[in-house]
Structure 1
């Protein structure tokens, strides 16, 4: 690499070999430079280099569900990381430019929580090895791109992550698992596969990612389930991919699943079962017996139908590598390798890959940014934990895999095939697979694995494929991707976003794996063709990023339910009738187009910016039925709009009917008329209401007062919620009746709006001014409270949303004091008198503090804690500030009197200690600025071993006070036993030159005196004497 010299100010600088990039190097001694040149370059270095340039440690975060998943915890991530980091730091051939360190980061087992937690890890590490959950890999990689921090993961599946432009900081530590699966499937010509997962989020998300990835390569992935499956669903399936922990390493759900499959006769050769998680590590197989197979005959027989695909052990087996590390005393635990999850080696390899990328980036003179680290994983080969790791020039891992088999009678596995990813081939390894029944499952057509060929088994798949092509391309496409959409605020606020000249929003649904049939797709096309002023247009389905969502036009006023709950909107009858007429016209249009709604309710009716009501969430009945997904338990409050016949027949509840929609309309009519929730006037719980509606007599319906709506409207409402569906009118008849209710008057929403605007305009400014003032008062109150609870610098940081990191202070002085005999005083006082005592005393102390450079940390009971030297450092002055403050406090206490016990002196004892500590903000609901460290404990011991009216200090503080040479008067106390510290020589601070304020005289206490008991008796004696004088009769 050619070094480019830089000549500035007559000094030649060489910008070449800095650990994170070039550093300044002078051919002259800094001592010979003018001071201003030296200062200039120091400031230039600070301002131009990023923060990580000045740190000497590169910290790696190892991310996974280590705490919440017992099988993952057996991977011993901390031990694997410690072994890898230890070897890396001792490897002098690696030029990292800094010391490598690690931290174990916990990943929640729920995907949503895992992503939320990941965001908070940004400041803790410089790069990630993980995540383990593929459900949020895409989001994590986008965050990594924004932070410019490396994301090195073995578990991520989505091929989109390999796009450098979109995810420049992402790198794989292993080949994509679905790439390995596709290579094996292609070799055996098994195209029809099913996927089964356990019920944890991490495996459900894995199943979805695997299904989407294989489908994107043209394979007909059939069933994707998180529970058992029947033979009808499996009729065309040849391979079952099991997304759960392997039974060989303690996966209980896979064990139960295989035993159930064996019981159903599904392991006799018709199907091949493949565990997914073994793709993520190197399972030991040579000369290895597995306890679960040896001790369970049925499981051993079922495992004959299992093909295990795992990372090849090129160098040595996992067990051998683990034992070798123990022999060299790199691992000191007593565990045997059979008790360890082989993911241990994968974690090790991920950290080593990151270190090798750091080395390559350094050699190229590049910064250790996430983008550079991901780039410099290319064209790399090194020895991993127990196999050779190879990355090609495109950044794809070429690590080999093996296919392991069992004959069903032994507890061991043997190698049958080698999966050579460099050639995308499966090679015979010397021993044939033993298939149950003697022959493998029948092969599928090879056309499934040929690009640009429509592979089909009949007429319907051809039609389906043609329709799918039409649905994803062209102006009338229905299946939309991330590139087609621009998402708006999830709260659906009124933010205009252009898309095909309309405003759109995304409404999430409850399914992820969607099965489209020909009839379902035809219905979707018809739905998109629906056009009516009172129908919210259906724009398509969003089917990207493992999400499935319905895309519709965004209505800025929200739902009808939201509008009714908004007390700021005045709804007159004309306004209400306009909204109801819009609803009737929309339902009339849907029924004419043979689209029963089936889920009509007030929150499925949305209102646009012109206060026009539109119906949404229609037409998905066939789609919901096609999913065959279990019907989740619906809360009673969500069943208010469901017709009684469907409450009694849950199986057909998804099949909407015209008469069922009329019943739903009647409940919405009640909501609008009374402007309240359904059945709000009955005083019953939702469960009681649904039970009564479901099982009449008597018939349970809402009651509406005659003065709340025209009588004709109430009669229409009662007709529509009739118990007999045949007696409910059609929407054509409802439309005619409703027009008569208004007696021919036009329900013009604009006229109603103008009248409302006139009323609102008179008080709108007052309302805004009042709310603004309330907001400002509340803001000032919050800021004042925050500034009283925390140091000003910390409070300002929290107000701006910045994270307050714990801070180390090498030199501070801490003060503790308490009231001698406080327990006795409290026992002789009322609670309110104790509060008054502490309030008066601490007010006095606070006044003294305001004249010194100190920070009041906290008060707990009679204990008072103060520190100097933090959060603002003040050199060596911290000891002097605390000493001066202590003398002033002691002087002020000498003249202090309690209101309720004026004759009893208030004696305090003070302890001071100087040293280092860590300070940080603890808590979110009520954050506190807390101090931690041995200095705090020692200062507390100095106070508790002190004497009344004495300032107790130890040698650390005395040295600083003497070095300041300000005339502090210090007497030797002698050897004092400090709890937890042993016996030390301590001192009394008794005054200072030019300190003229009087100090209270300490009581004479001789060694061995029980002075606490003496103080207690003195307080009680004075108290009794004062009470006798009060009770003495006057003459």
Structure 2
């Protein structure tokens, strides 16, 4: 402190007046006590003392006692000093007083402390003590900061000095009013309208002194009344433990389902044991709540277990506690609080010779830490930075503590405008797996809401999933439910009827078993080879569609049966049709079994029977199997239109949206039926085994009987480097590709993936697994990419401009990398139905007629195109014929008539050749000779068009023309030939040989007039 500076003496004076006035003291009166400040030799203040009374019970059995609180206060002063809340010159001294949790001793301790010049009171904790001291401090003009004061009386508004607890600040993390709000929230949430309150008057008195639970229930009643909730009360302190079952029967019985209890842990356990004995727990119609005012170690407690009790009773108690929910104050679980708890224990042991034990420090005790910080915050706003005259008016300090928030050791502390701390609460339920209580919900006092913890739920007794009603349905003894017991004769009738039903059902099962065995033994699927009429083999002969359409051979074999899955004998050409025949007047496809001998086992017999019984509009029918060597084969329905792949690769076949939707719908219906049958899955679904019959109905083939379809084990394996080996796996799902030995029957999700690839083929018509024009991956590279998977797995290319959004979404879902993400065919049926909702197809008949109409239109277009091509070729042939023959002769020949010889009396013939043509040809190349003759005769032909003549023939360099036939021109024939000859001569004079431009071409001309026969001319 600077020398020479005079600082006025700090006056810390409180006054006292008679209590009879009923008001607060408005002026500070001096007290006869020692000076609280120290002075230096110059008379300046060097330090001052601030005295605080601590009114608590000096008994460690209480939750809040002097030996537990004093180390907390010491740590709080050190923290306030480090935060700069207490000036360096001010010393805070605590004066502990034992109030014995008695109102009289509390009043005496308050008067004694006031006589010792204390300026603030911390405590007391017992409610009766808080009430008596709170009324005194109003007249002493000193703040009272307590962690007690739980009853609703202390929450009344403190607006004026005339109010009873005008100088009281409540710092405790508990309020009976707020606990009542927690239960009211539960009542509203679960639609409960009535409840029963069981309490032990002096239960949990270590928290708030005498009558703690009675005061708790008194507060509860005040707020339950306002909500118009029906309630009942009973004090178990008035009866013996052995009478608890009778209390439950008489006061709860079949009237109340919701029971709220406040008592010691031992009493709660005995009440729940009595409830379990009465059957209230097993019935699931009752729920018990326990109000636990202490807050330490909530999540690890096992209150049902009592050391020293029998294992049988402990087990009964554990079962009974399943019907219990506990409401308690919320305990901090952060690291800072746990470290502080250990620090308090250490200081209590070293400075106050007190041991807490293994449990953590209660929030009631640590609340005094926050109380000192709150008082220091208000004090800092009233004291100067240096020693001097200050105003320690208790009323002013108290108001500064109201309506503020700060960070304390238990978290953020919120003091409302009435000087009461806003606290939070937890709802605990016993986890049936660990038998320990866990927090399932928290009640936040700031907004008065109960919020459940995500992933947690209440385990209601009786394995209920919902809370019970507020009134028992049947009651603990079932007396509320009507007696539905049957008389003896009715019971006898039921027993006899049950025996009869059992015998009938058993007989049905036995009959069906023997019938199944008889059907298996009868082998209705078996076909004898002599009953099959084999049709002659025909190559590339199909219906009118294929006879009109050119076969592009883009990988398809135009097979009647699936070529990929055919296991043909060696040497048979896959491009030929599958063998066909007649069996019982039905045309069938004969599929050879790739082995000479078939061993018939019971599983194979059962599967053959199932295949024989399997019939559906969109599944290829199985007629039977022939197992007579060497004609082992499968007989199936014949589909003359070939496979779906054949149709898609036929560019002349136009597929509109309706037709494409019909094909997709057929696949979905067929596969849906197949998955629902005993076959379960296909395993090798492709566009090549989707066959089309004569009515353009798509049918699924190559399912089931995988034991007969696979090659013989001794047959050589297929070449893994061949194109065909990898190509036929383009439809296989990635999870199957990754298997070392994939099942022959596949999986249902794998079939969905294959269906997506087929849909892509139908929509794009670019073959299986089309990746766009820019991609040139081989089938093997594609399979490796699909097997590899990853975040962006390899999938076919989708052209968004040509594929509907709904269909594209369908494909994306069906070829998802995760099989669980793919829909099943039952769900696909609904999806496809929605996609086709705007089409004209409503039923099977409309579907068939629409397809046949589309097929007929397609044929008409093909016929029209072929007719136009034919007429164009005919026109070209006629033009050529007119150029080769006279028009009159050509016309007769075109009409199919014979040409009659005719004599012409007046005809002149012109003939010419090139002089020296032989030597000229010898000296020229063949191409030069051709160019010469072509140039010359082109020139001649352009000249003779101007005259009435007809060119007969040109042979080498000879050129022959006639006039007077085939059209007679009278006497003009000689003149026309002469004029033409002169024109040709003049042209030759100026004609230039391309490869000999300096050489003159010479033409020798002859003419002759005579009678001629047109047979000679032709």
TM-score range, shorter chain: 0.3 to 0.5
Structure with the larger RCO, 1 or 2 (CA within 8 Å, 6+ apart): 2
Looking at CA atoms only, which structure, 1 or 2, has the larger radius of gyration? 2
TM-score (norm 2): 0.35
For normalisation by structure 1, the TM-score amounts to 0.34
